[in-house]
């Protein structure tokens, strides 16, 4: 009984001493683009992010080559999950195909898989949000050419506020999704 009371006391003290952290929701932007897809289905693999971009903390370039973070405001969701779901939703809305995330939530296999590897996803010290890397589109068992494509997207940051960083990131991911959709369209 004493062990239980001691454990409850420690848990209560720990809970009381923890400073609440604010979280920033990543809200994807909707595209006006509507395209007829060359495939019936596409799977977006979990988007690979650099370590600093995959963390909960919001990364900001303090000076060229120096990345800082703040624990005051964290992303509301795991960044890799949020980016993967945002791109999946955007591609599904743009294309006439069924688009789903990895693991594939439907029976059978998708016609193509989209694999995005982000090299840089960062609010730069130059006043721009940078999103660069490479993506791959591959089909297995269908007549669709495999391809590898680079991207280098920059969006202006109106301020250094985290909401502005989230907005610029959402716009950059939308541009990337639209570029991928055009590769999958007629």
Q: Are 173 and 165 in contact (CB under 8 A)?
A: no
Backbone angles phi, psi at 107, to 5 degrees: -70, 150
Check residue 18 and give its pLDDT: 54
CATH of 23-183, one of 3.90.25.10, 3.20.20.70, 1.10.260.40, 3.40.50.10610: 3.40.50.10610
Closest CA to 82 of 153, 30, 26, 21: 26
The structural domains of the chain, with segments of one domain joined by +, span 23-183
Q: Are 90 and 173 in contact (CB under 8 A)?
A: yes
152 strand-pairing partners: 132
Return the percentage of the chain with pLDDT > 90, whole number: 75
Secondary element (H or E) of residue 173: helix 162-183
Q: Are 157 and 147 in contact (CB under 8 A)?
A: no
Check residue 56 and give its pLDDT: 93
Cα atoms in the Cβ-side hemisphere of radius 13 Å centred on 183: 24
According to DSSP, residue 129 is labeled E
Q: Report the interhelical angle of 79-94 vs 162-183 (nearest 10°).
A: 50
Mean confidence (pLDDT) of the chain = 88
Residues of the chain with pLDDT under 70: 1-20
Peptide bond into 11 cis (omega under 30): no
Q: Are 62 and 70 in contact (CB under 8 A)?
A: no
How far is Cα of residue 164 from the mean position of the Cα atoms in its chain?
Answer: 16
Check residue 20 and give its pLDDT: 55
């Amino acid at each position: 009984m004493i062990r239980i009371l001691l454990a409850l006391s420690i848990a209560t003290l720990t809970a009381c001493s923890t400073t609440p952290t604010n979280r920033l929701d990543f809200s994807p932007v909707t595209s006006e683009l509507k395209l007829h897809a060359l495939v019936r289905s596409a799977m977006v693999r979990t988007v690979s992010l650099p370590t600093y971009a995959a963390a909960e903390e919001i990364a900001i370039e303090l000076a060229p080559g120096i990345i800082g973070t703040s624990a005051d405001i964290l992303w509301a969701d795991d960044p890799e999950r949020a980016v993967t779901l945002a791109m999946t939703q955007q591609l599904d809305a743009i294309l006439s195909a069924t688009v789903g995330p990895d693991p594939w939530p439907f029976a059978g296999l998708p016609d193509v898989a989209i694999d995005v590897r982000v090299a840089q996803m960062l609010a730069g010290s130059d006043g721009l949000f940078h999103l660069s890397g490479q993506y791959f589109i591959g089909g297995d068992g269908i007549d669709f050419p495999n391809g590898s494509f680079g991207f280098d997207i920059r969006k202006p940051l109106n301020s250094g506020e985290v909401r502005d960083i989230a907005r610029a990131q959402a716009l950059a991911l939308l541009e990337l999704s639209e570029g991928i959709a055009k590769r999958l369209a007629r």
